[in-house]
């Protein structure tokens, strides 16, 4: 329960944003009651979490399996050098930083993978999900969970100088499967390890995701359809170009998930046993439910393996090709069937086709 002193503090704390007419006192109250799950507390998730908490969304579930690393610091706002030295999980470090912003925050850090088995535990009882993940398996799980429960979620991605944001409101907009019927094969797309990433790009994506979430959460649930326009924002901070891609034709057509209720990823029909970890030159291999992995046996089996041209990932030109413009243009859904591009105010020409890892 909110104390009287806290209520008075809140009046002053949020006094500027409640003066924004489309938001107002009613919007602020809805934010206070909302609960949001953020999947991935790295660059995008950290920026989103910071903006949401400062706006008044105090109930945040922070989901991330990773530990803080030195290479995270240029773009991940909620991590410090001390977190890296101590090997603190990102979700725990983020919760500590967020708690120092607002003592009334109700933070729920979870050092876990989002899997078909854990979705029910991690995404239950939330009003909205924000995607800060680094792999398509997590995104397809989020998409299926939200579509089958009519739950809004905000997709976001960033690579190099390019970013994308798309608000998905099941029953109104296209969903992720409408845009990307099948996920790309591991290694087909560049990552922040191969193509790099600029910190401000991730911060912009996270800020836009938070703004989209605030619009949806502050609205009357019956009016949420008016908060989304069915377009995906695509921008390049290096060239300064912005555009919106109209995905309403995909929404009209639908897909087996948002129209037919199919959930192959939640049913483990689409999930693979291995997940490429963004920026780590590593693969996570998941054991079957209740299974056991003999790590010593795995180590023995890998002793004779060394990088070479027998490995297709190390074939001549393979790694270099991943960062070339033609390879960067192959992200599924960049030019979805029937989609139309609406130039933004500064887009007088064609923008390079970005890839979101």
Catalytic residues: 192
Enter the DSSP assignment of 184: P
Q: Is 99 exposed, middle or buried (0-12, 13-18, 19+ CB in 10 A)?
A: middle
Determine the 3-state secondary structure of 267 from DSSP. Answer: coil
Q: Is 264 exposed, middle or buried (0-12, 13-18, 19+ CB in 10 A)?
A: middle
Cα dist. 191→27, 82, 109, 188, 276 in Å?
Answer: 37, 26, 26, 10, 10
Report which of 79, 44, 49 is spatially closest to residue 61, judged by C-alpha positions: 49
Report which of 146, 163, 159 is spatially closest to residue 208, judged by C-alpha positions: 163
């Amino acid at each position: 329960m909110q104390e009287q002193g806290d209520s008075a503090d809140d009046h002053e704390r949020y006094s500027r944003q409640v003066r924004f007419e489309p938001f107002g006192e009613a919007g602020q109250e809805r934010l206070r009651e909302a609960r949001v799950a953020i999947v991935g507390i790295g660059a995008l998730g950290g920026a989103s979490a910071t903006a949401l908490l400062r706006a008044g969304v105090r109930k945040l579930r922070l989901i991330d399996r990773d530990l803080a690393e030195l290479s995270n610091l240029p773009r991940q706002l909620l991590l410090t050098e001390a977190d890296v030295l101590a090997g603190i999980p990102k979700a725990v470090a983020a919760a500590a930083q967020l708690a120092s912003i607002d003592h009334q925050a109700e933070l729920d850090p979870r050092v876990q993978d989002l899997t078909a088995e854990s979705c029910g535990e991690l995404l239950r009882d939330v009003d909205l999900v924000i995607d800060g993940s680094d792999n398509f398996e997590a995104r397809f799980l989020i998409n299926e969970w939200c579509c089958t429960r009519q739950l809004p979620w905000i997709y976001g991605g960033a690579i190099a100088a390019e970013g994308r944001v798309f608000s998905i409101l099941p029953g109104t907009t296209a969903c992720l499967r409408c845009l990307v019927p099948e996920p790309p094969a591991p290694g087909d797309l560049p990552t922040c390890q191969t193509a790099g990433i600029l910190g401000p790009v991730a911060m912009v994506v996270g800020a836009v995701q938070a703004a989209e979430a605030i619009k949806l959460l502050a609205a009357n649930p019956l009016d949420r359809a008016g908060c989304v326009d069915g377009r995906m924002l695509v921008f390049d901070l290096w060239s300064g170009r912005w555009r919106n891609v109209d995905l309403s034709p995909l929404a009209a057509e639908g897909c087996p998930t948002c129209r037919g209720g199919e959930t192959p990823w939640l049913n483990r029909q689409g999930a693979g046993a291995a997940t490429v970890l963004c920026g780590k030159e590593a693969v996570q291999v998941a054991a079957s439910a209740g299974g056991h992995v003999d790590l010593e046996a795995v180590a023995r089996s890998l002793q004779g393996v060394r990088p070479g041209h027998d490995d297709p990932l190390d074939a001549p030109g393979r790694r270099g090709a991943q960062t070339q413009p033609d390879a960067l243009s192959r992200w599924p859904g960049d030019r979805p069937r029937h989609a139309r591009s609406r130039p933004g105010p500064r887009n007088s020409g064609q923008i390079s086709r970005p890839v979101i890892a």
